[in-house]
Structures are given as C-alpha cells and as structure tokens.
Chain A
Amino acid sequence: MITAHIVAAFDSSSVNISILLGQAIRLGVLIAFVALGEMVSQRAGVLNIGVEGVFLATACAAAGASFLGWGVWTGFLVAPIIGMVTMSLIAFLVLILRADQIVTGFGINLASIGITTVIVKSKPDLNFVDSLKKVKPFGDGGALADMFNHKPSVYLIVPAALVCWFALFRTAWGLRVKAVGETPAAADSAGVVVNRVRWQAMVACGALVGLGGASLALGQGSGFTENMVAGRGFIALVAVIFGRWRPGLVVGGCLFFGLFEALTLQAPAWGLTIQSQLLNMVPYLSCLLALAIFRRGTTPPSALTRPFERKR
C-alpha cells in the first residue's frame, strides 16, 4: 500500500526526484559520519550506544564555537575535539573500569541530553549562530545541482569514508583494530596493547562523531536546539549493522535512511495521503527485516561488548 502511494506520487508532476535525492544525501551524510565512527569503534569490539549523546554534545560544542565568534569552521575543529574527549571518558569507563558498554552508553546519553539542554536554556542564542553556506559546484539549476549542491561539510564524507576504509584494510593499525575486536587475547599475546588500540579506535570514533555533530549544528542546521539529534545516533548504530561493518555499505545504509527521512519531509508537498509516521517506520522496519532475512555476513565482531582483561 505504501509503495502504491509512493509510486503514485512519483508519477505526479509535482514531484522532483532530484530534490528528493539531494535531501537524502544531505540527511544521510549527517548520520554517515557518526556511523563510520561507530563502525571503527565496533570493529575494535566496543559497542558504543553513547554515540547519541556524544553526537549531541559535539553539535552543542560546534554551535558554541560559532556563537563565541571563533568562526564556523572552528566549530568543525572544536566538535571533534569534544568528541574525542568525551569518547576518552567513555573509554576510561568501559576499558579501564570495565563498565558495561550498554549501561555506560545509556548514562552518557542521559547526561548529555541533560547538560546540553541546560546549556541551551541558559544561552538561547545558541539556537541561531553563523553556519555554513551552500556551495554550488554543479551550477545553479538542474538535476545535478539539486542532488549535489550542498553545504561544504557534506562533501567531507567522501574523504572520511576513504580514510576509514584505508585505515581499516591497508594499515597496521587497522589490522590491530580488527584483531582486538575479533580475538583480543590473540592480539595481546602478539604484543598488541588491546586497550590502547581500543582507546585509539574510540577516539577516532569521537572525531568522526564530532564531524557529524558540527555538520548537524552548522551544516544542516544553523545552531543548536534542544535534543536536536533526536535519535540519529541510534540510527547510525543501526546503519553500522545494516552495512555489515564495511565502510562503503555503512555509508550506503545511511543514504538509504536519509532517503526515507527525505520522503517524509517531501510527502506533504506532494500531497501524499500516507501518514508520515508510517513512512518514518520504513527504515527501521526494513533494517529489522534485513536482519531477520539475511543471516550471512550479519555476524558482528566476536569480542563486541566484551571487556578485555588479561588473567593475572
């Protein structure tokens, strides 16, 4: 039924697919930074539910940097730094104190939503700060422009994904990350300091999440609003599983999620009668179905969520 509506909508002349796809890219890329970070972290064996909170904190930090007049691009520096610091705190809890990763993530999410809300309520000016301007490398009109003209932060995803891929599959560090996520005891006895590598992976995750946060506050939005992440961190987590821990697929998964978010935004304009809640449900439902139907390749890194401790 839903598809019938969508197809019907596509047939009508009011629909501009290239605008839709452009929006999908814009929304998908936001999640993709975070998803790439989460992927690196999970590859190292750390399931980081706290990305939602870190995402929010870095968005707030980016808006703050812009608010203080440090310049918009400084926000793209400050947010990753805040992301790395927060991730280090989580790393301290889950790696050194061996706290449960899921519980810690919960705590971080709650604390982050609390702190950022308190901040934005006492400084409402954060709601509107200087943000990035759209660039137009694909000209002023036409389908290509609709699809590929974005705020500059959007294009950052390409180098980010390439670096992630190269780091994981072509460097010694990537080898170690995969080893500590898969068989930490083996990595340890090969002389790899498991918790150090995991910490590095989490810090890398923090940096990527920070890029996402800055993109959210200064690219997608123009400032920080209360709980502006609104579950996108969790979607990123889902996208990692959807993309089977591979950079290309993970980004692809994010674009798929972005497409449905864009659809719900466009639906009213197209006069679609379908209720937005149902459309909103589709990404989650399809992810759940994909998990249920395809069993191969959906196995996470073996040591995911398991703290490492050498027997003493």
Chain B
Amino acid sequence: MTDHLQTSERVALAELRDIVKVFPGVRANDGVSFSVLPGEVHGLLGENGAGKSTLMSILYGLYQPEEGTILRHGKSITLPSPRAALEAGIAIVQQHFALVPTMSVTDNVILGNEPSRIIRRSALTARIQELSQRYRLELDPKSLVSELSIGQRQRVEILKCLYRNPEIVIFDEPSTVLTPSEIDDLYGIIRTLKSEDRGVVLITHKLDELLAVTDRITVLRHGRSTGTVTTSEVDGPTLARLMVGRDVKLRSTAALVGLSSADETKPLRTVAGDAPVVLELNAVGLRADGVDRLTELTLSVRAGEIVGVAGVEGNGQKELVELLCGTTQPTAGTMVVSGADFTRAGAVALSRQGVRVITEDRHATGCVLDMTVGENLLLDRVGSAPFSRHGVLNRRACDTAARELIADFRVKTPGPDVQIRNLSGGNQQRAILARELSRSVTVLVAAQPTRGLDVGAIEEVTERITAARDAGAGVLLISSDLAEVMSMSDRIAVMYRGRFIAVVDRADASTELIGELMAGLVSA
C-alpha cells in the first residue's frame, strides 16, 4: 500500500501506519494503514462495524490506538485529544453533529477556537458570513442551532471545520441525513476543498458516492484493510467484494450498498387488492409546542403488503412511530386498526391488537439495556399468565419461554440471565424481533430496522420482515435509506415536513422520482 506514496512523489499530509485498536471483545482496527495526500479525496469504505469511524476517530484524537504510528508530513506525532488534532490541522465533520443546540451558529463555530478571550460578536459574525459565502454554505450566523434543519446543521458543522482552516477534513458518513440535492452541494464543497490542495477523507458505505467524488479508496473489513485502490481503476462490484468479502445474497442488500441500482430491484410480489385493510390513518395530525409535527397523514396498509415510508430523517418519522407505539396521541384525525378506532387507545391496547413496533433507536426505545435478555424478551408480557400469577412472577415459566425465543430467533447469548447490554447490536435486534414477532402480528411497524447492522444481520432482519408480511401482517417500513425502501416495498409513501406528499405504487416509482419527492422538489 505504501507504494502509492512513493509513486506519487508527494509527502502524505497524514499517514496512519499499522494501527491496532481494541475494544472489549473486538479488534476494531487490526493493523490498518492509511494515508491522505494534498489535493486528494480519499474514500474509506466498509460495512457498518468494519472500523472506518474508529480509524478516523484515531486520526482525530478521539481514540488512542494500542499499536501503530501516526505521521503528519512524514513526522511521527501523537494525538491525545481532538484538541491536539485540531492544532495539527485535522478537522472532522461528524455523522452525529457535535453542536450545542442552545447556542448560536457563531458561538458554535468559534467554540474551542475563540479568537480572543473576550468575544466581539459583530466582527466574528462578519467573518463567518464571508466564509459561508466562499463555500456557498448559506446560513444566518445569529440563529440558534436548535432552530435549524438537519441539512443546515451539517453546514454549521462544515463551517466549524473550515473556520479552523484545516489541511485535512474528514467527512464521516455525511450524506446519511441529506436530500439528493444537498448531497450534490456537499460534493461541490468537497471539490472546492480539493482544489485548495487540502486533503479530504470521505467515510461512507455507499459505493456510488465514492465513485463520484474520490481519487483513491481504502476498503476495510472486520477491522482490516483489504486494499487501497485508485478510483478510476475500479468498478462497483470489485469494491463490493472487497467490502463484504463474498457475493451479496439479497437484492435488497445489494441495493443497500449500492451494488445494483435500486431501480433494477423489483418488488418481490404484488398484493391482492381485496386483502383486508389492517391499518388506516385518516388525516392524522400532531401538534406539539405550537408546531405541526405531522399534518393530515392519510394511508392504509393491507394485510400482506409492505408499505414503505421514504423520507429524509427528521421529517416526522419519529413522531409517526410514537403515534403507532401509542406513546403519543394524535391531535387530529383517526387511527384505525383492523376496523376499530385506536386513535387514543394507548400503547397497551395497540399491542393487544397486534400492532408490533420495531423502533429506530434500539437502546432508547427497543430494549432496557440494564435488564437481562430474558427480561427484555418478555418485557410486555410479564403481567399475564403463565409468566405471573396475582402479580408474582413465575420465574420458571419466564426462563423456559426466554430460552425458546433465544433458540427460535438465533440470538447469540450465553443465556437469558445476561444483561442485554453485553450483546452485539445484531443480537440485540434479534432479541427485539423475537419479542415483537413471536406473538400475533396484525401490523408490523419497522423503523430503520437494519441501521447499524452488518450484512449477515441485515439479511436476517429483512427475511423476518418479509416472513411476517407473508404470514399476513401489514407492514409499514419506515426508512431513510431509499434503496431499502425501493427494494422491499409494494407501495411507497414519501414523507416531507410531516406530510405524506405522495403515495406511489412500486411499479411507478423510480429512484429519481422518490429522491425528488424526498427533497420536496416536486409534489405528486
């Protein structure tokens, strides 16, 4: 890999050599080498969990490697903290924004790099305005970050980086939260940075992005580098093989990693038009704190079909899931399950009716991390026979049931008495699926069900959802991953600013159309 450096005859801006980083139970980086040259966009590709973010966190001083060296302009350095990295000219645009919501754009941009001890805000505002114009990042420096959209927050994040005039800019999965047109703007910024002879590192698991904008690509798998290649010399399938290490099985999975165009994957089957409607939303609205979070959502889901809900994150998906969980009640409209009104029925009644929800954030709303696997499997059932009588738990019945579920859903755990915190993300998700799908399912709501999982677990989760559909459940698949929605759904509803701006049959949907709808560029 180092021969690139020799042939390029340029000293790398930064180089990581033989990095080893161990987390409890896993070698996140296992002898990885990586370099970035001036005026280069270097892509870092790998599945979730391959070690990309870990590697860049090391370059950004967030983690300390157990072994290996970091070179800057050919000289060995240590980066004990983000501060040290910033001082060394390395900046990162993080996937999860590192912004203080209660402070203004200006304050966020200068935080940690204040020009003087006493802050003169008017001069700073002008400086930030100038910077944002140069990179075409439109922002009002005085507005509070909490008032900005996701796309605008990312601009603040980028501005924060550029304000420090770094030589190396790392982008960590920057496109996940953006609309297609915002992604184009992002490419523009990356190209500008490149033209200024800065080094750019782009972390992603999307092949099309890498092919569009990078010069070189390093692929990571299971914490090891499987190769560094020149972008112009490779194609998608080669990269995918390097990334996954085998041929990809499901079409949806292929679409997920961008191996095949999402348009080519057709829905697996079509639904009978006379299947009963299991879930019906009639002009559902939600108003909170004086803001309309959801407006006139109307949609019906039939038994045996998957309705995808596409949309950029933060357009009301979270609120929709909360309504379907029964933890929030709509302020307008009605929710009908299997013909009965459940608008204000609440969580318990919805669950009793067979509405199962796989929430987006496993740790926050999917399980109780400090309770055992067994307790998590039976969270919603301990109150009923045979798991308890007169309010006293029947520990044997609980244990037996938990063991059965663990076996059925192939949850890898030493036993039901281990805290679920100690399981890997994939196995936590399996346990959650076991809890939600092991009982009668009328409606299955799956929000970002494959996020953060590796390919093996993605396939399994996808299969489980499809199986539930085949068994007669109506499925609402909520995902910000266009490819996932396109490959699994029979119909697609597009969510934008708390509305369904279109509901399209899969046959009529194309990536371009849905993408434009997601961006709010057209209305159907």
Contacts and interface: CB of A to CB of B under 8 A. Distances in A.
In their complex, do chains A and B touch, with some C-beta pair under 8 Å? Answer: yes
Interface of A: 170-173, 175-176, 178-179, 182-183, 185-193, 302, 310-312
11 contacts: A170-B118, A171-B117, A182-B100, A183-B98, A185-B98, A188-B98, A189-B60, A189-B82, A189-B98, A310-B62, A312-B64
Contacts of A188: 82, 98
Given A170-B118, A175-B119, A182 B102 contact: yes
A179 B82 CA distance: 16
Contacts of A171: 117-119
Interface of A is mostly: helix
A183 B103 CA distance: 10
A170 B107 CA distance: 11
Contacts of B117: 171-173
Interface in B65-118: 81-83, 86-87, 92, 94, 97-103, 107-108, 110-114, 116-118
Contacts of B92: 189
Given A170-B119, A171-B118, A175-B119, A187 B102 contact: no
B187 interface: no
B87 to A, nearest CB: 8
Given A171-B117, A187-B112, A190-B82, A179 B160 contact: no
A183 to B, nearest CB: 4
Contact of A311 (B62, B94, B99, B119): B62
Interface of B: 60, 62-64, 81-83, 86-87, 92, 94, 97-103, 107-108, 110-114, 116-119, 160
A192 B107 CA distance: 13
Nearest to B97: A186
Contacts of B107: 175
Given A175-B110, A179-B111, A311-B62, A191 B83 contact: yes
A65 B127 CA distance: 51
A190 B111 contact: yes
A187 B116 contact: no
Contact of A178 (B82, B99, B102): B102
Contacts of B62: 189, 310-311
B89 to A, nearest CB: 12
Nearest to B114: A172
Contacts of B113: 190-191
Contact of A182 (B94, B103, B112): B103
B65 to A, nearest CB: 11
Given A191-B83, A191-B86, A312-B63, A186 B99 contact: yes
Contacts of B102: 178, 182, 302
Nearest to A185: B98
Which residue among A171, A188, A189 has the maximum number of chain B CB atoms within 10 Å of its CB? A189
B95 to A, nearest CB: 12
Contact of B112 (A178, A191, A302, A310): A191
B80 to A, nearest CB: 10
Given A176-B112, A178-B102, A179-B103, A190 B63 contact: no
Contacts of A183: 98-101
Contacts of B82: 188-191
B118 A190 contact: no
Contacts of B60: 189
A194 to B, nearest CB: 10
A189 B96 CA distance: 11
Contacts of B94: 189
Given A182-B100, A182-B102, A187-B111, A193 B81 contact: yes
Nearest to A174: B119
A310 B98 CA distance: 13
A185 B108 CA distance: 13
Given A183-B99, A185-B98, A189-B82, A311 B111 contact: no
Contact of A172 (B81, B101, B118): B118
Nearest to A166: B118
B111 A192 contact: yes
A179 B110 CA distance: 11
Contacts of A179: 100, 103, 111
B53 to A, nearest CB: 11
A310 B81 CA distance: 10
Given A178-B102, A179-B100, A183-B100, A190 B160 contact: yes
A177 to B, nearest CB: 11
Contact of A192 (B97, B112, B118, B160): B112
Given A171-B119, A187-B112, A191-B83, A178 B103 contact: yes
A188 B100 CA distance: 11
A170 B116 CA distance: 11
Nearest to B160: A190
A176 B63 contact: no
A116 to B, nearest CB: 37
Contacts of A302: 102
A178 B100 CA distance: 9
A192 B61 CA distance: 13
A193 B119 contact: no
Report, nearest first, the 9 A-B pairs whose CB atoms are least far apart: A190-B112, A172-B114, A191-B83, A191-B112, A186-B98, A189-B98, A183-B100, A191-B86, A192-B112
